[in-house]
Amino acid sequence: MALLPPTSKSLKARLNNGETLYGLFLLSFSPTLAEISGHAGYDFVVVDMEHGYGGISEALSCLQALSATQTPAILRLPENSPLWAKKALDLGPDGLIFPLIEDPDSAKAAVSSCRYPPAGIRGNAHPVVRASKYGLDNDYLEKCERELLIICQVESEEAAKRARDIAAVDGVDCVMIGRSDLSASMGFIRDPGNKKVEEMTKAAESAVLGGGAAYLAGFPRPHDPLSEMKKRGVQHSLRWG
């Protein structure tokens, strides 16, 4: 059965309407800082469990604080794992970021982790978790998958070469080029602005835009300002906080 369109206020619907969204990466797991970030006016805030020090328990407090400010929350997972995805999804985020997506198969695995059977492998506890308002949201099963924003990070030279195929995977909503890890994989860990990294980044971005329905996401940097990224088609932009 085909999913219905996402509701107009969701991040996915706003991207579908042609908006460019701006977000903040939150490495702190302080609920107070999350609340301040929510009041700052960004379209969304990413709670970073990959490089931040916290896990599921700490992320919950941040999601509760962001919810109080009516700011959409995205969780970045430590790895592309069904276990991490299951626990994160039960908290009720508006999206997930999967790091280190190397090829279409790993992108398909990420999507599968976000889908209930038979379409995927997500564990079923929807009547008792926060995501469904602890069972009070009777429409949760009908809307959870169509509303969730699934973002795959391309962060290596080999993954960048497969960016078009990753973007074409059904269920992948955004592809983010992780330039820092990409530069490291190319031998330029101290020089992310290197010309070779820039060329690979732009080639991967073009491949994403030509690969299917996925949107392009990225991080503005001093050597790659937001104005230039927007010219290249980035619609989902984040900054570190």
Catalytically active residues are: 51
**55, 49 contact by CB (below 8 A):** yes
Q: Are 131 and 85 contacting, i.e. CB atoms less than 8 angstroms apart? A: no
Both tokens assigned to 34: 């999350």
If one counts every other C-beta atom within 10 angstroms of the C-beta of residue 232, the result is 14
Note whether 103 and 162 are within 8 A (CB).
yes
Residue 46 near residue 76, CB atoms below 8 Å: yes
The CA-based angle 182-185-187, given to 5 degrees, is 110
160 burial class (0-12, 13-18, 19+ CB within 10 angstroms)?
A: buried
> Which residue type, as a one-letter code, is found at position 182?
L
Are the CB atoms for 204 and 157 separated by under 8 Å?
no
Distance CA(104)–CA(80), nearest Å, equals 13
